[in-house]
Amino acid sequence: MISVLFAVLTALSNGTATVLQRQAARGIPDREAMRLSLFGRLLRQRVWLAGIALVVVAAVCQAVALATGPIALVQPIFVLELPATLLIAGLITRTPVRPRLWAGVAAVTGGLAVALASADPVGGHGGVDGATWTVALLATGAFEAALLTAARTARGDARAALLGLAAACGYSLTAALMKDAMARLDAGGVGALLTAWQLYGTAVAGVGALFLLQNALQAGSLVAVQPMLTLGDALISVCFGVTLFGEHVRTGWWLLPQLAGLVLIAAGCVVLARSPLAAGEREPAPGT
Protein backbone atom coordinates (compact mmCIF):
# COMPACT_ATOMS: atom_id res chain seq x y z
CA MET A 1 0.00 0.00 0.00
CA ILE A 2 1.21 3.49 -0.88
CA SER A 3 -0.01 4.89 2.44
CA VAL A 4 2.01 2.34 4.43
CA LEU A 5 5.16 2.95 2.38
CA PHE A 6 5.02 6.72 2.84
CA ALA A 7 4.13 6.32 6.52
CA VAL A 8 7.31 4.29 6.99
CA LEU A 9 9.32 6.96 5.15
CA THR A 10 7.76 9.57 7.43
CA ALA A 11 8.76 7.56 10.48
CA LEU A 12 12.37 7.31 9.28
CA SER A 13 12.60 11.06 8.70
CA ASN A 14 10.85 12.05 11.93
CA GLY A 15 12.83 9.64 14.07
CA THR A 16 16.16 10.94 12.82
CA ALA A 17 14.93 14.52 13.26
CA THR A 18 13.92 13.88 16.88
CA VAL A 19 17.36 12.56 17.82
CA LEU A 20 19.13 15.48 16.11
CA GLN A 21 16.84 18.00 17.81
CA ARG A 22 17.49 16.35 21.16
CA GLN A 23 21.24 16.74 20.67
CA ALA A 24 20.79 20.44 19.99
CA ALA A 25 18.25 21.12 22.73
CA ARG A 26 20.01 19.37 25.61
CA GLY A 27 22.62 22.13 25.80
CA ILE A 28 20.09 24.94 26.19
CA PRO A 29 19.87 26.45 29.72
CA ASP A 30 16.65 25.91 31.71
CA ARG A 31 15.98 29.65 31.77
CA GLU A 32 15.22 29.52 28.01
CA ALA A 33 12.38 27.01 28.47
CA MET A 34 8.97 28.03 27.03
CA ARG A 35 10.47 31.17 25.46
CA LEU A 36 10.79 32.18 21.83
CA SER A 37 14.48 32.81 22.48
CA LEU A 38 14.87 29.03 22.57
CA PHE A 39 14.38 28.99 18.79
CA GLY A 40 16.98 31.73 18.40
CA ARG A 41 19.60 29.57 20.08
CA LEU A 42 18.61 26.47 18.13
CA LEU A 43 18.73 28.27 14.77
CA ARG A 44 22.45 28.78 15.25
CA GLN A 45 23.08 25.03 15.48
CA ARG A 46 23.61 23.02 12.28
CA VAL A 47 22.48 19.81 13.93
CA TRP A 48 19.09 21.35 14.71
CA LEU A 49 18.76 22.75 11.17
CA ALA A 50 19.45 19.29 9.75
CA GLY A 51 16.68 17.95 11.96
CA ILE A 52 14.29 20.61 10.66
CA ALA A 53 15.15 19.70 7.05
CA LEU A 54 14.12 16.12 7.83
CA VAL A 55 10.90 17.41 9.37
CA VAL A 56 10.07 19.00 6.01
CA VAL A 57 10.75 15.75 4.18
CA ALA A 58 8.58 13.92 6.70
CA ALA A 59 5.73 16.41 6.18
CA VAL A 60 5.65 15.72 2.42
CA CYS A 61 5.68 11.94 2.96
CA GLN A 62 3.00 12.26 5.63
CA ALA A 63 0.74 14.25 3.31
CA VAL A 64 0.94 11.49 0.69
CA ALA A 65 0.29 8.79 3.31
CA LEU A 66 -2.74 10.58 4.74
CA ALA A 67 -4.15 11.30 1.29
CA THR A 68 -4.08 7.59 0.42
CA GLY A 69 -4.96 5.86 3.70
CA PRO A 70 -6.90 6.13 7.00
CA ILE A 71 -5.35 8.32 9.67
CA ALA A 72 -5.95 5.49 12.18
CA LEU A 73 -3.61 3.33 10.07
CA VAL A 74 -1.03 5.89 9.01
CA GLN A 75 -0.24 7.66 12.29
CA PRO A 76 0.36 4.53 14.45
CA ILE A 77 3.01 3.37 11.96
CA PHE A 78 5.09 6.33 13.10
CA VAL A 79 6.03 4.38 16.24
CA LEU A 80 8.67 2.79 14.02
CA GLU A 81 10.62 6.03 13.89
CA LEU A 82 12.76 5.39 16.96
CA PRO A 83 13.86 1.77 16.29
CA ALA A 84 14.57 2.48 12.62
CA THR A 85 16.60 5.58 13.49
CA LEU A 86 18.74 3.80 16.08
CA LEU A 87 19.50 0.92 13.74
CA ILE A 88 20.52 3.36 11.00
CA ALA A 89 22.64 5.32 13.51
CA GLY A 90 24.39 2.13 14.53
CA LEU A 91 25.04 1.26 10.89
CA ILE A 92 26.42 4.70 10.04
CA THR A 93 28.71 4.85 13.07
CA ARG A 94 29.69 1.17 12.68
CA THR A 95 28.52 0.56 16.23
CA PRO A 96 27.51 -3.04 17.04
CA VAL A 97 23.85 -3.31 17.96
CA ARG A 98 23.61 -4.87 21.41
CA PRO A 99 21.03 -7.59 22.22
CA ARG A 100 19.12 -5.21 24.51
CA LEU A 101 18.62 -2.81 21.59
CA TRP A 102 17.42 -5.64 19.35
CA ALA A 103 14.94 -6.60 22.08
CA GLY A 104 13.57 -3.04 22.07
CA VAL A 105 13.25 -3.07 18.29
CA ALA A 106 11.41 -6.40 18.43
CA ALA A 107 9.06 -5.13 21.13
CA VAL A 108 8.10 -1.98 19.20
CA THR A 109 7.65 -3.65 15.82
CA GLY A 110 5.89 -6.67 17.28
CA GLY A 111 3.62 -4.48 19.38
CA LEU A 112 2.73 -2.36 16.36
CA ALA A 113 1.92 -5.46 14.30
CA VAL A 114 -0.33 -6.87 17.02
CA ALA A 115 -2.09 -3.54 17.66
CA LEU A 116 -2.78 -2.78 13.99
CA ALA A 117 -3.80 -6.34 13.12
CA SER A 118 -6.28 -6.44 15.98
CA ALA A 119 -7.59 -2.89 15.40
CA ASP A 120 -7.84 -3.31 11.59
CA PRO A 121 -8.56 0.39 10.86
CA VAL A 122 -10.65 0.80 7.70
CA GLY A 123 -13.09 3.11 5.95
CA GLY A 124 -13.59 6.77 6.60
CA HIS A 125 -14.24 9.85 4.51
CA GLY A 126 -12.11 12.83 3.56
CA GLY A 127 -14.02 15.99 4.45
CA VAL A 128 -15.04 17.24 7.89
CA ASP A 129 -17.79 19.84 8.36
CA GLY A 130 -17.23 23.10 10.22
CA ALA A 131 -19.40 22.27 13.24
CA THR A 132 -17.48 19.04 13.87
CA TRP A 133 -14.18 20.87 13.59
CA THR A 134 -15.36 23.48 16.10
CA VAL A 135 -16.09 20.83 18.72
CA ALA A 136 -12.82 19.00 17.99
CA LEU A 137 -10.72 22.16 18.24
CA LEU A 138 -12.34 23.21 21.51
CA ALA A 139 -11.78 19.77 23.03
CA THR A 140 -8.18 19.66 21.80
CA GLY A 141 -7.51 23.16 23.13
CA ALA A 142 -8.89 22.24 26.55
CA PHE A 143 -6.73 19.10 26.68
CA GLU A 144 -3.61 21.03 25.67
CA ALA A 145 -4.33 23.74 28.25
CA ALA A 146 -4.63 21.14 31.01
CA LEU A 147 -1.30 19.54 30.03
CA LEU A 148 0.53 22.87 29.85
CA THR A 149 -0.89 23.97 33.20
CA ALA A 150 0.34 20.77 34.81
CA ALA A 151 3.73 21.09 33.08
CA ARG A 152 4.32 24.56 34.52
CA THR A 153 4.40 23.17 38.05
CA ALA A 154 6.32 19.98 37.19
CA ARG A 155 10.07 19.55 36.90
CA GLY A 156 12.50 17.20 35.18
CA ASP A 157 11.18 14.09 33.49
CA ALA A 158 7.62 14.70 34.71
CA ARG A 159 7.60 18.04 32.91
CA ALA A 160 9.20 16.46 29.84
CA ALA A 161 6.55 13.72 29.73
CA LEU A 162 3.67 16.20 29.97
CA LEU A 163 5.15 18.41 27.26
CA GLY A 164 5.84 15.32 25.16
CA LEU A 165 2.17 14.36 25.35
CA ALA A 166 1.17 17.94 24.50
CA ALA A 167 3.46 17.79 21.45
CA ALA A 168 1.91 14.45 20.47
CA CYS A 169 -1.55 16.00 20.61
CA GLY A 170 -0.32 18.84 18.42
CA TYR A 171 1.13 16.45 15.87
CA SER A 172 -2.10 14.43 15.82
CA LEU A 173 -4.11 17.59 15.19
CA THR A 174 -1.65 18.53 12.45
CA ALA A 175 -2.24 15.16 10.78
CA ALA A 176 -6.02 15.50 11.01
CA LEU A 177 -5.95 18.99 9.49
CA MET A 178 -3.56 17.81 6.78
CA LYS A 179 -5.81 14.88 5.85
CA ASP A 180 -8.83 17.18 5.57
CA ALA A 181 -6.83 19.65 3.46
CA MET A 182 -5.66 16.88 1.12
CA ALA A 183 -9.27 15.73 0.72
CA ARG A 184 -10.19 19.22 -0.47
CA LEU A 185 -7.32 19.08 -2.95
CA ASP A 186 -8.74 15.86 -4.37
CA ALA A 187 -12.25 17.29 -4.54
CA GLY A 188 -11.61 20.81 -5.84
CA GLY A 189 -8.01 21.01 -7.00
CA VAL A 190 -5.28 23.44 -6.01
CA GLY A 191 -7.70 26.36 -5.71
CA ALA A 192 -9.78 24.55 -3.12
CA LEU A 193 -6.66 23.62 -1.19
CA LEU A 194 -5.26 27.15 -1.12
CA THR A 195 -8.57 28.61 0.12
CA ALA A 196 -9.09 25.95 2.82
CA TRP A 197 -8.39 27.11 6.38
CA GLN A 198 -7.25 23.56 7.17
CA LEU A 199 -4.09 24.10 5.11
CA TYR A 200 -3.04 27.08 7.22
CA GLY A 201 -4.25 25.40 10.38
CA THR A 202 -1.86 22.54 9.57
CA ALA A 203 1.06 24.98 9.53
CA VAL A 204 0.04 26.64 12.81
CA ALA A 205 -0.55 23.34 14.61
CA GLY A 206 2.72 21.92 13.27
CA VAL A 207 4.79 24.88 14.46
CA GLY A 208 3.07 24.75 17.86
CA ALA A 209 3.77 21.03 18.20
CA LEU A 210 7.41 21.57 17.21
CA PHE A 211 7.77 24.29 19.85
CA LEU A 212 6.32 21.98 22.51
CA LEU A 213 8.63 19.15 21.45
CA GLN A 214 11.73 21.35 21.73
CA ASN A 215 10.73 22.29 25.27
CA ALA A 216 9.99 18.67 26.14
CA LEU A 217 13.43 17.59 24.94
CA GLN A 218 15.04 20.45 26.84
CA ALA A 219 13.16 19.69 30.05
CA GLY A 220 14.11 16.05 30.54
CA SER A 221 15.40 12.79 29.14
CA LEU A 222 14.46 11.15 25.87
CA VAL A 223 13.23 8.19 27.95
CA ALA A 224 10.52 10.43 29.41
CA VAL A 225 9.61 12.14 26.14
CA GLN A 226 9.63 9.36 23.55
CA PRO A 227 6.96 6.97 24.94
CA MET A 228 4.54 9.84 25.55
CA LEU A 229 5.24 11.30 22.10
CA THR A 230 4.98 7.97 20.31
CA LEU A 231 1.95 6.45 22.03
CA GLY A 232 0.19 9.79 22.43
CA ASP A 233 0.42 10.53 18.72
CA ALA A 234 -0.88 7.07 17.80
CA LEU A 235 -3.81 7.00 20.25
CA ILE A 236 -4.96 10.58 19.72
CA SER A 237 -4.74 10.12 15.96
CA VAL A 238 -6.98 7.05 16.16
CA CYS A 239 -9.48 9.15 18.13
CA PHE A 240 -9.40 11.82 15.42
CA GLY A 241 -9.79 9.18 12.74
CA VAL A 242 -12.86 7.65 14.38
CA THR A 243 -14.60 10.85 15.49
CA LEU A 244 -13.76 13.18 12.59
CA PHE A 245 -13.38 10.94 9.56
CA GLY A 246 -15.71 8.07 10.44
CA GLU A 247 -12.98 5.43 10.36
CA HIS A 248 -13.66 2.08 12.01
CA VAL A 249 -11.53 0.01 14.39
CA ARG A 250 -12.39 -3.26 16.07
CA THR A 251 -13.71 -3.11 19.64
CA GLY A 252 -14.97 -5.69 22.12
CA TRP A 253 -12.50 -8.43 22.97
CA TRP A 254 -10.20 -7.09 20.24
CA LEU A 255 -9.26 -4.36 22.72
CA LEU A 256 -7.22 -6.91 24.71
CA PRO A 257 -4.62 -7.64 22.00
CA GLN A 258 -4.62 -3.94 21.14
CA LEU A 259 -3.74 -3.14 24.76
CA ALA A 260 -1.07 -5.84 24.75
CA GLY A 261 0.42 -4.30 21.63
CA LEU A 262 0.50 -0.86 23.25
CA VAL A 263 2.26 -2.27 26.32
CA LEU A 264 4.90 -3.88 24.10
CA ILE A 265 5.40 -0.62 22.21
CA ALA A 266 5.76 1.38 25.43
CA ALA A 267 8.27 -1.09 26.89
CA GLY A 268 10.24 -1.12 23.66
CA CYS A 269 10.33 2.69 23.50
CA VAL A 270 11.76 2.90 27.01
CA VAL A 271 14.48 0.37 26.18
CA LEU A 272 15.38 2.14 22.93
CA ALA A 273 15.33 5.64 24.40
CA ARG A 274 17.85 4.50 27.05
CA SER A 275 20.29 3.37 24.40
CA PRO A 276 23.43 5.52 23.99
CA LEU A 277 22.57 5.70 20.29
CA ALA A 278 19.41 7.62 21.15
CA ALA A 279 21.61 10.32 22.65
CA GLY A 280 23.94 10.34 19.67
CA GLU A 281 26.63 8.37 21.48
CA ARG A 282 28.37 5.09 20.67
CA GLU A 283 27.39 1.87 22.36
CA PRO A 284 30.03 0.78 24.89
CA ALA A 285 32.38 -1.91 23.69
CA PRO A 286 31.82 -5.44 25.03
CA GLY A 287 33.28 -5.92 28.50
CA THR A 288 33.30 -2.20 29.40
DSSP bridge partners of 247: 123
How many angstroms separate the CA atoms of 197 and 104, rounded?
40
pLDDT of residue 38: 64
If DSSP codes are grouped into helix, strand and coil, which group holds residue 123?
A: strand
CB atoms within 10 A of CB 260: 15
State pTM to two decimals.
0.80
pLDDT of residue 288: 40
pLDDT at 282 over 60: no
Q: Taking the domains of the chain in order of start, what are their residue ranges?
A: 2-279
CB atoms within 10 A of CB 85: 23
Q: Decide which of 277 and 38 is more confident.
A: 277
Residue spans of beta strands (DSSP E) within the chain: 122-123, 247-248
Q: Which residues of 199-227 are buried (b: 16+ CB within 10 A; e: fewer)?
A: bebbeebbebbbbbbbbbbbbbbbbbbbb
pLDDT of residue 185: 83
Q: Which amino acid is at 207?
A: V
Indicate the pLDDT class of residue 99, thresholds 50, 70 and 90.
Answer: confident
Going from the C-alpha of 189 to that of each of 7, 127, 183, 185, 200, the distances in angstroms are: 23, 14, 9, 5, 16
Please give the DSSP secondary-structure letter assigned to residue 287: T
Contact 247, 71 (CB under 8 A): yes
pLDDT of residue 222: 78
Please give the DSSP secondary-structure letter assigned to residue 251: -
